[in-house]
Structure 1
């Protein structure tokens, strides 16, 4: 049994709709609630409580369905051609406004189920370009990614992975990427000997950076050929098959990002928000949350700080008489932050696990905290340490509504209050959604 005819139910966390077959839950990608579809099962292990599948034919479509924005990610077209859809645009068949309604429904459901909070959260559009009136005008949801990660197939062609699979599919375009990345034409290169390709194109328009991770050691002639193939359109670095720091072949080893008055250095291995407007949108939301608690001489912490996106405005608010603890686990990204803030004495950049650093700094005064954990969330130990530190406000920036709701539930159990939550659509055409919340300790 490979295909089933199913009526799709509500949206679920992770980009699926929920269907049922003979009492078993089936999580289905590439559909819409209410549709009648034919589903190709992709995961049917007998011991599992649920199965997974992809829509391969629409029998009764939703009015919110549209032509997919990117052919390689179109499940209907891919299966019809005997292939599989790539990941990264699993909502590309849905009208943008409906994408945001579905994401908001997921956030509300996770808050209700895991944190026992009933809240009417909406997901806001984040425009591709800044607007003079400050409003979030809709666009087509394309050309927003300033960072892309690609695979390479066995024939040396640029490719992307299928969802939850080692299978790779060659691509000839990437319409979610900013045009500076598309113009590089990486799909035209012979990438034999390369395992992965990372590209960073700053929103400022600065020259992009391409990092090739090698599948095997290549000779100097082959490395030179790779750099020449990219040309002057981008800086080029390589990471050895044995790992280690990138080696610069051409241009610079890092890019500069500008957010308002703040400038950051980000290397190829460093983390930066991928939507071209995400840094300023998130910075504004975070300052709305914790800004009122920060003045000259205050003490703040930026936890899971990355390259220091939020560290910079926090440091500006507390001034030279205040302090900002900026903690990041990734050595490379922490080095980026240290380079950016090396002349700001009030900023203490620490590389290490957040729970370990907070344990070492137990008793240190904190007036406000920005918490921006990875998809797994902060976790119980960090939440416990925050409760003990009792800052006046915490801005929680979350890329996963389930882990956020779980952490929120623990904070609420400890007597904290949720002041507000905002949803931001920083990942159009995908199921991902960013939330920013303001939390305060009990009185």
Structure 2
């Protein structure tokens, strides 16, 4: 068998085909698939191969546009300039596309994933959140290079690209980290909360020994971010989970409330409940005579949720994995289940545990369309079908998307 030559570094003139999940488009060259970043469907570009592990595909970056698509624009961030080549920041995927084009591409990705993985043909429209394409990101993670400079990593690389600012991040939020030097190798978390305060946490991953284990050492303070959404205040540990788009918490709680429609006096489960954002909405719907069970694996998040919802006695809290808690027969069967799993999705065990209780409505919040499609397919095996879907461009300039789906039993009792 003839070994395929390594194309890394080779420049190919290709016609760009459809968008694919992951922030790139599909092209073909000499019988191989080429996943091209920084291009748009319909364009003709020169693409430099950046990663070739052999086999039927390789990865490339567009380095010259020969025929541009109508949706192409000049990137607003200098770190996305095509002239930088491999020194481009890896944080954004679609700086070269207009906002309308980005949303069309994301809608195509969601529709393709649902059709290919779940076998569902569903028309998708991705909605824009308030605030536009820039200055929406309230939370960022940065790395520190060997010279102590903060920045973001290059695409599919550990290499750090130093930056002075990031135009998708809240104005001024990065000034606390980019105007000074840090310990090389540290990782930084920056959170700009609803009050305007900016919190910076640095963790030094230089190995230290504690009880025989290598541990990370905190080198600059932590704290509590104070957020507001759905007419309430929430305290969130700086490194804990909160939606990164400033407008997302209010938008998502409004949709979750409408789709959940938990009955007065009913029972609701909030799985992967975090610091209590969706549980607060469900508690208002079921009222004092109802009950809401919040399940969350992070003990710190549960502590924050207990404090945030102290005025809602109808909410109870379970610290543990959803897989373990959802099978507890002592829990009352829910009328409504809201789940907001991590990027990998809920998975078969959670889907089977939830559907075994036969809730009337399941609201699935998903930040990955492939994981959503997999879960929708699993729900279908258990007699639930997707009846509504709302998609949001909650991460402009990147390939990420947020979807909220309603699933209902095919044959309701």
* Counterpart-to-counterpart distance in 2, 1:307 and 1:104: 30
1:247-396 alignment to 2 at 5 Å? 249=221, 253-291=223-261, 293-295=262-264, 297-361=265-329, 364-396=332-364
**CA displacement 1:232-281 (0-9 Å, x = unmatched):** xxxxxxxxx8337x6874xx720111113211110112100000000000
Query: Among residues 10, 14, 20, which one is paired with 2:28 in the alignment?
Result: 20
* Counterpart-to-counterpart distance in 1, 2:309 and 2:158: 39
1:164 pairs with 2:156:
yes
* Counterpart-to-counterpart distance in 2, 1:92 and 1:436: 25
1:104-143 alignment to 2 at 5 Å? 104-128=107-131, 139=132, 141-143=133-135
* Counterpart-to-counterpart distance in 1, 2:29 and 2:185: 43
Q: TM-score, normalised by structure 2?
A: 0.91
TM superposition shift of 1:216:
4.2
* Counterpart-to-counterpart distance in 2, 1:329 and 1:77: 44
Residue in 2 that maps onto 1:33: 41
Residue in 1 that maps onto 2:199: 209
Q: TM-score, normalised by structure 1?
A: 0.86
* Counterpart-to-counterpart distance in 2, 1:440 and 1:72: 45
The answer as to whether partners of 2:267 and 2:292 remain within 8 angstroms in 1 is yes
TM superposition shift of 1:24:
1.5
1:53 pairs with 2:43:
no
The answer as to whether partners of 2:140 and 2:190 remain within 8 angstroms in 1 is yes
Structure 2, unpaired ranges of 5+: 1-6, 209-213
* Counterpart-to-counterpart distance in 2, 1:361 and 1:171: 52
Closer, same or farther in 2 for the Cα pair 1:337/1:247, shift >3 Å?
Answer: farther
Give the 3-state SS of the residue equivalent to 1:364 in structure 2.
Answer: coil
1:200 pairs with 2:191:
yes
* Counterpart-to-counterpart distance in 1, 2:320 and 2:42: 47
Runs of 4+ residues over 6 Å off in structure 1:
none
Give the 3-state SS of the residue equivalent to 1:55 in structure 2.
Answer: strand
The answer as to whether partners of 1:8 and 1:34 remain within 8 angstroms in 2 is yes
* Count of residues paired in the alignment: 398
TM superposition shift of 1:401:
0.6
Residue in 2 that maps onto 1:90: 93
* Counterpart-to-counterpart distance in 2, 1:248 and 1:368: 42
* Counterpart-to-counterpart distance in 2, 1:84 and 1:330: 36
Structure 1, unpaired ranges of 5+: 129-138, 219-240
The answer as to whether partners of 1:194 and 1:212 remain within 8 angstroms in 2 is no
